[in-house]
A and B are shown apart, each in its own frame.
Chain A
């Protein structure tokens, strides 16, 4: 039986997922999108094939998504990341949900009804606020590797510290002032995540359970609790949260 693939070429990372006709995940791949979207797609796809122990001739249909969806030469069709994240999240949580995808360059809030139909969606305004890029910039300003931001935020002891500015550049200036005032980096790291969650809050009204997807929640465990606190709802972060868009693309490829 053929397998189906989804390839999500995001602004920061490229993800691939292979599923069978029963939508069981057989392989995943991940890589940096970098400056070569086509190469990144190829490499994530190869990884997924390797993990599944299959060759590409068994793949029946490929759907690409994400910023670089037009660069995937081997894709049979393209769908937006909004469609794919909704599809993937609903597959994992088949009920009325709000999908909150926080990616490298944008975030998407998507309302899905109990039958999996999209009711509404919104993306962040044209700015890096509320995205992975914001956290990258803040980590840089705090002089810590991005992968350490999460651990540092979880050691925060003062949850009243906040970053008020929308703008990434202004937020950095604000952080400089707070560093001068002696505020700990741990508290600033958490405050940056709270800022991301607040941008989500103002994008679209959230009234039911949230399924959070994307690299930011996948790599920053404190985001789950912060999102839940800010949005005032139950927040689920599925395993492989970064691959939910690619999963949705694979499900679309399977025609389900």
Chain B
């Protein structure tokens, strides 16, 4: 314990990312005030490509709510939504975001001088993650008096079949007809294909970025990933995102070839299953740094890898990409996925985050940790917490559990 705690190594590309994200929000703010431009709100694994294809500026409320969490403002605003009948047990992205909106607060003001989130012309959701996005968007739809339309995804899927793809592709095409009415023009297929091409490229690069963590020592952590995934979430389908990940990938590859570790003296390699705890990214990251253990892979950051996107077949390939996602799949598929990740990244232990308000992304609740521990022989730890509602997180208990887990790995 008397050893000095190593310092985190900042990723140089972070400066560029800050500029890219600032430009994104400023452009949205301008668009919202320009009657000739249209703004669409979209959920983070929703059909952003289609919206860009129509020329909408695309805003992602989940990203906004994650910023509320990361700036530790979410817990302050959640109660206002609770008081309006949105239970403290439902998605705390939803409650934090709506609560902050009710009180006229946005973290974009402090960060970029933006007074309010951009007024939408349409809200577009995909229930592939959960039903909460739909309820969340509908609240805003009623508030702004604008259409709220979406795609209803099949859930708990074993194998993605042509029937699933046809169903979702059909819904995307129906969505395109509705969006044409709102945009005031039909979908330009060449532009749409180009967006899908850029999105596919962004996805490939993001996957390559994350896979640099397979190196020993890993050049990046899960906590870095949750920050650097920003452009993959809000700018995929644009050249800006592609350029950004080319820069980031180059830096991480140099780290790997120079043997630069994200966690100096990396002793243990860990997998994070579930949502980040946005308000505690820094303290968790520092704790793992001190324990010389690198949380280096996660299902969460992988959620923005869409291998199936194909510009030659945009609707069907989008349908396949958005249905193949981990969160949409059955437990056996999820277990296979995590097993493969643990092997690829040479993982010593798995940390499950049981996020109280996010049952769909808390995979510890139906016995999976025990099944995977038996199958892989890799120990696990479950932390009780939440993505945004810090009232549901006992920091002292989580810290002790993490420290004890590393002690346990240490005795082997």
Contacts and interface: CB of A to CB of B under 8 A. Distances in A.
A224 to B, nearest CB: 25
Nearest to B370: A205
B397 interface: yes
Counting chain B residues whose Cβ lies within 8 A of the other chain, the interface size class is: 10 to 19
B376 interface: no
Interface stretch (B111-119, B137-145, B388-396): B388-396
B407 interface: yes
Interface stretch (A73-81, A154-162, A194-202): A73-81
Given A67-B396, A126-B384, A83 B1 contact: no
A117 B379 CA distance: 13
A250 B177 CA distance: 73
Contact of B404 (A76, A82, A117, A126): A82
B286 interface: no
A126 B407 contact: no
A121 interface: yes
A133 B379 CA distance: 30
A77 B397 contact: no
A81 B407 CA distance: 11
B400 A82 contact: yes
Interface string B382-412: 1010000000111011001101100110011
A117 B411 contact: yes
Interface string B1-29: 11000000000000000000000000000
A152 interface: no
A79 B382 CA distance: 20
Interface string A117-145: 11011110110000000000000000000
Contacts of A79: 407
Given A77-B1, A78-B1, A126 B394 contact: yes
Interface string A148-176: 00000000000000000000000000000
Given A118-B411, A121-B408, A80 B403 contact: yes
B313 to A, nearest CB: 47
A118 B408 contact: yes
Contacts of B384: 125-126
A236 to B, nearest CB: 22
A106 interface: yes
B404 A80 contact: yes
Contacts of B411: 117-118
Nearest to A116: B411
A121 B404 CA distance: 9
Which of A83, A117, A126 is the most central at the interface, judged by chain B CB atoms within 10 Å of its CB? A126
Given A80-B407, A82-B407, A118-B408, A123 B2 contact: no
B401 A123 contact: yes
A142 B408 CA distance: 41
A255 to B, nearest CB: 14
A106 B397 contact: yes
Contacts of B382: 122
Interface string A85-128: 00000000000000000000010000000000110111101100
Interface in B350-401: 379, 382, 384, 392-394, 396-397, 400-401
Contact of A120 (B379, B393, B396, B407): B379
Contacts of A118: 407-408, 411
A126 B392 contact: yes
Contacts of A122: 382
A152 B263 CA distance: 54
A39 to B, nearest CB: 20
B330 to A, nearest CB: 25
A83 B411 CA distance: 10
A81 B400 contact: yes
Contacts of A80: 400, 403-404, 407
A106 B394 CA distance: 11
A86 to B, nearest CB: 9
A83 B2 contact: no
Interface string A46-90: 000000000000000000000100000000111111110000000
A126 B397 contact: yes
A123 B400 contact: yes
Nearest to B380: A120
B400 A83 contact: no
Interface of B: 1-2, 379, 382, 384, 392-394, 396-397, 400-401, 403-404, 407-408, 411-412
Given A83-B404, A118-B407, A121-B404, 8 more contacts: A77-B1, A81-B400, A106-B397, A117-B411, A118-B408, A121-B408, A123-B397, A123-B401
Interface of A: 67, 76-83, 106, 117-118, 120-123, 125-126
17 contacts: A67-B396, A79-B407, A80-B400, A80-B403, A80-B404, A82-B400, A82-B401, A82-B407, A117-B412, A118-B408, A118-B411, A121-B404, A121-B408, A123-B397, A126-B384, A126-B392, A126-B393
